[in-house]
């Protein structure tokens, strides 16, 4: 059978710092004919336009939690849509600051908003979406995105996105055998105490979790601005063999594999990261 494309583009990768050159947490998953955004951080709409995707093309938006760096781009995204089709947004019940910031928007007739709980599960075009509980200083969920192949039980590609969280068993449970785990790694191991205090994860913690979940590949994101990508990569590669540290507009493509090829150990993923997707486009 011919497999369709299954990839994730990192539109923004920064943690909470506000920097015009460094958009905050936003991913775009493209599977088959379906496009899903996971979190809509600062600068998300501009990043979408830079890769020549219109907000009208987005089928659904998933929110991990209502911290500003994960939803501040929503008003621009929603206001830019001109079509009469309804955009579905799934996320935890909005916090009071989020409700004030998004006042009116989530009640628009052109938006379907559903406050989800853990173990929410739904088919969304060519992708199946599920939540799982995570551990942060506000109610938060990670998301599992699995491709839907009608009539096919094997070889479905799966990406697990942690959102902001401490390392937790629930991620290991849902990420078991996933093609790609996208995990936050706000701090390096030398600042593990800060990760604990602020309810985030370190690079080392994310890499150890990837081993326990026996995932194919690990992508680290939400790295605090005081660290270089290289320092995060070096720390992770001491533990886990297939690590990617995407920059904004990098795309990770997941190659299809049979279930038997995925069985066994960790780091078996067939992934390739293409840098800066706007290159080569008009």
Contact residues for Zn ion (CB under 5 A)? 67, 69, 164
Least CB distance from residue 238 to Zn ion, whole Å?
Answer: 25
CB of 232 to Zn ion, least distance (A): 16
**Shortest distance, position 90 Cβ to Zn ion, whole Å:** 17
Q: How far is the CB of 103 from Zn ion (least distance, A)?
A: 21
Q: For residue 244, what are the β-bridge partners?
A: 219
Tokens at 198, concatenated: 């602020």
User: Which residues share a beta bridge with 181?
Assistant: 160, 218
Smallest distance, Å, CB 79 to Zn ion?
23
- Closest distance of CB 25 from Zn ion, Å: 6
100 CB neighbour count, 10 Å cutoff = 9
φ, ψ of residue 166 to 5 degrees: the values are -75, 160
> Which 3 state secondary structure label does DSSP give 253?
strand
Query: Considering beta carbons, is residue 121 or 197 the nearer one to Zn ion?
Result: 197
Which CB atom, from 72 or from 254, has the smaller least distance to Zn ion? 72
Helices within the chain (DSSP H only): 44-50, 68-71, 74-79, 96-101, 169-175, 192-197, 203-212, 229-237, 259-262
Residue (121 or 193) nearer to Zn ion, CB: 193
Q: Which is nearer to Zn ion, 156 or 198 (CB)?
A: 198
Minimum distance of Zn ion from residue 91's CB (angstroms): 13
Angle between the 229-237 and 203-212 helix axes, to the nearest 10 degrees?
40
Nearest to 92 by CA among 58, 56, 134, 50: 134
Cβ-in-10-Å burial (0-12, 13-18, 19+) of 106 comes to middle
Q: Which is nearer to Zn ion, 77 or 254 (CB)?
A: 77
CB atoms within 10 A of CB 33: 12
Instruction: Give whichever of 67 and 262 is closer to Zn ion, judged by the CB atom.
Output: 67
Query: What is the DSSP-derived secondary structure letter of residue 95?
Result: P
Residue for token digits 């069985």? 263
Q: CA–CA separation, 131 vs 105, rounded Å?
A: 23
Query: Distance between CA atoms of 145 and 22, rounded to whole angstroms?
Result: 25
Distance CA 43, CA 76 (A): 9
Of the two residues 200 and 262, which places its CB atom closer to Zn ion in the complex? 200
Quote the DSSP letter at residue 2.
Answer: P
Nearest distance from residue 70's CB to Zn ion, in Å?
A: 6
For Zn ion, the closer of residues 69 and 130 by Cβ is: 69
């Amino acid at each position: 059978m011919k497999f369709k494309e299954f990839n994730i583009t990192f539109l923004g990768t920064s943690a909470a710092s506000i920097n015009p050159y460094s958009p905050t947490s936003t991913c775009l998953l493209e599977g088959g004919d379906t496009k899903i955004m996971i979190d809509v951080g600062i600068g998300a709409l501009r990043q979408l336009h830079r890769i020549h995707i219109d907000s009208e093309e987005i089928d659904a938006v998933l929110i991990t939690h209502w911290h500003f760096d994960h939803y501040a781009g929503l008003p621009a995204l929603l206001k830019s849509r001109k079509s009469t089709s309804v955009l579905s947004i799934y996320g935890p019940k909005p916090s009071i600051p989020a409700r004030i910031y998004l006042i009116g928007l989530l009640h628009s007739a052109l938006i379907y908003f559903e406050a989800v709980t853990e173990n929410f599960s739904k088919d969304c075009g060519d992708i199946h979406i599920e939540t799982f509980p995570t551990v942060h200083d506000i109610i938060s969920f990670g998301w599992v995105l699995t491709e839907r192949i009608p009539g096919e039980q094997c070889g479905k590609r799966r990406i697990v996105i942690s959102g902001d969280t401490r390392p937790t068993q629930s991620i290991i449970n849902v990420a078991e055998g996933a093609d790609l785990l996208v995990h936050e790694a706000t701090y390096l191991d030398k600042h593990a105490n800060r990760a604990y205090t602020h309810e985030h994860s370190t690079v080392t913690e994310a890499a150890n979790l990837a081993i326990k979940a026996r995932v194919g590949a690990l992508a680290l994101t939400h790295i605090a601005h005081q660290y270089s990508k290289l320092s995060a990569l070096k720390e992770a590669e001491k533990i886990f063999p297939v690590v990617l540290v995407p920059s904004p507009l990098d795309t990770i493509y997941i190659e299809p594999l049979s279930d038997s090829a995925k069985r066994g150990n960790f780091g078996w993923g067939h992934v390739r990261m293409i840098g800066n997707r706007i290159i080569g486009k008009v």
